[in-house]
Amino acid sequence: MLLLTFHNNQMNIKHLFLIAFITLLGSCKQDSHLYKIEGKQVPISDSLESKAEIDSYIKPYRENLEKNMSTVLAYSVDTYSKRDGELNTAIGNLMADAVYEESNPIFNKRTGKNIDFVLLNHGGIRSIMSKGDVITRTAYELMPFDNSVVVVELRSAQVKELIEYLARAKRAHPISRLKIVLDKDYGINSAFVNNKPLDNTKIYNVATNDYLYNGGDHMDFFKTNDSLHVLNYKIRNVLLDYFEKKDTLNPVIDDRFIQIKN
Amino acid sequence: MKRREFIQHTAAASALIGLGGLGLQSFSAASKKITILHTNDVHSHIDPFGPEDGRNANMGGVARRASLIDAIRKENTNTLLLDAGDIFQGTPYFNFYGGELEFKLMSMLNYDLATIGNHDFDNSIDGLYAQLPHAQFEFVSANYDFSNTILNTHVKPYKTFIKDGIKIGVFGLGVELDGLVDKKMYKETTYLDPTEAAQEMTRILKEDEQCDLIICLSHLGYNYSNRPERISDLKLAGTTKHIDLIIGGHTHTFLKKPTVMKNLDGENMLVNQVGCYGINLGKIDFYFDADKNKSANGVSIIV
Q: Give me the DSSP letters along B103-164.
A: HHHHHHTT--EE---GGGGTTHHHHHHHHGGG-SSEEE-SSEE-TTSTTTTTEESEEEEEET
B125-152 mean pLDDT: 98
Instruction: Give A112→chain B minimum CA distance, Å.
Output: 30
**Does the distance separating the beta carbons of B165 and A32 come in below 8 Å?**
yes
Quick one: CA dihedral B174, B17, B112, A48, positive or negative? positive
Q: What is the per-residue pLDDT across B271-289, written as a single tens digit (0 to 9) for each? A: 999 999 999 999 999 999 9
pLDDT(B265) > 50: yes
Q: Which amino acid is at A36?
A: K
pLDDT(B183) > 60: yes
B93 contacts on A by Cβ (under 8 Å): 61, 65
- Chain A interface mutation, best of B10, B34, B68, B226, highest count of A Cβ atoms under 10 Å: B68
pLDDT at B166 (0 to 100)? 97
pLDDT(B30) > 90: no
B90 closest CB neighbour out of A51, A126, A214: A126
The third-level CATH classification (topology) of the domain covering B30-302 is Purple Acid Phosphatase; chain A, domain 2 (3.60.21)
Q: Domains along chain A?
A: 71-259 (3.90.780.10)
Closest residue on chain B to A61 (Cα): B93
**Does the distance separating the beta carbons of B92 and A140 come in below 8 Å?**
yes
Number of other residues whose CB lies within 10 A of the CB of residue A205: 21
Question: What phi, psi does A34 have (nearest 5°)?
Answer: -70, 125
ipTM of predicted assembly, 2 dp = 0.88
pLDDT at B290 (0 to 100)? 84
A42-49 mean pLDDT: 97
B250 contacts on A by Cβ (under 8 Å): none
Q: Select the more confidently predicted residue: A222 or A8.
A: A222
State the DSSP string of chain B: -HHHHHHHHHHHHS-EES---TT-----TT-EEEEEEEE---TT--SPPPTT-TTTTT---HHHHHHHHHHHHHH-SSEEEEE-S--S-SSHHHHHHTTHHHHHHHHHTT--EE---GGGGTTHHHHHHHHGGG-SSEEE-SSEE-TTSTTTTTEESEEEEEETTEEEEEEEE----TTTS-HHHHTT-EE--HHHHHHHHHHIIIIIS--SEEEEEE-S-S--TT-TTS--HHHHHHT--S--EEE--SS--B-SSPEEEE-TTS-EEEEE-B-STTSEEEEEEEEEES-GGGGTT--EEE-
Instruction: Give A4→chain B minimum CA distance, Å.
Output: 10
Q: Which amino acid is at B206?
A: K
pLDDT at A81 (0 to 100)? 97
B48 contacts on A by Cβ (under 8 Å): 44, 46
A119-125 mean pLDDT: 97
Instruction: Kindly give, in sequence order, each residue whose CB lies less than 8 Å from that of residue B84, ignoring residues fewer than 6 positions away.
Output: B38, B39, B40, B41, B114, B115, B117, B217, B218, B219, B247, B248, B249, B250, B273
Where in chain B are the domains?
30-302
Q: How far apart are CA B191 and CA B144, in angstroms?
A: 5
Question: What phi, psi does A179 have (nearest 5°)?
Answer: -130, 130
B289 contacts on A by Cβ (under 8 Å): 32-33, 35
Q: Look at residues B36, B78, B75 and name the one whose alpha carbon lies nearest to residue B162.
A: B78
B210 contacts on A by Cβ (under 8 Å): 30
Q: How confident is the model at residue B19 (pLDDT cuts 50, 70, 90)?
A: very low
**Does the distance separating the beta carbons of B300 and A65 come in below 8 Å?**
no
pLDDT at B23 (0 to 100)? 41
pLDDT at A27 (0 to 100)? 41
Q: Look at residues B131, B151, B286, B70 and name the one whose alpha carbon lies nearest to residue A37.
A: B286
**Does the distance separating the beta carbons of A36 and B21 come in below 8 Å?**
yes
Closest residue on chain B to A215 (Cα): B179
Q: Look at residues B274, B226, B224 and name the one whose alpha carbon lies nearest to residue B246.
A: B274
Mean of the per-residue pLDDT values of chain A: 90
**Does the distance separating the beta carbons of B67 and A33 come in below 8 Å?**
no
Give the least confident one: A113-117, A122-126, B23-27, B153-157.
Answer: B23-27
Q: What is the per-residue pLDDT across B144-157, written as a single tens digit (0 to 9) for each? A: 999 999 999 999 99
Closest residue on chain B to A131 (Cα): B54
Number of other residues whose CB lies within 10 A of the CB of residue A141: 22
Q: What is the per-residue pLDDT across A53-70, written as a single tens digit (0 to 9) for each? A: 999 999 999 999 999 899
**Does the distance separating the beta carbons of A50 and B301 come in below 8 Å?**
no
Instruction: Give A161→chain B minimum CA distance, Å.
Output: 17
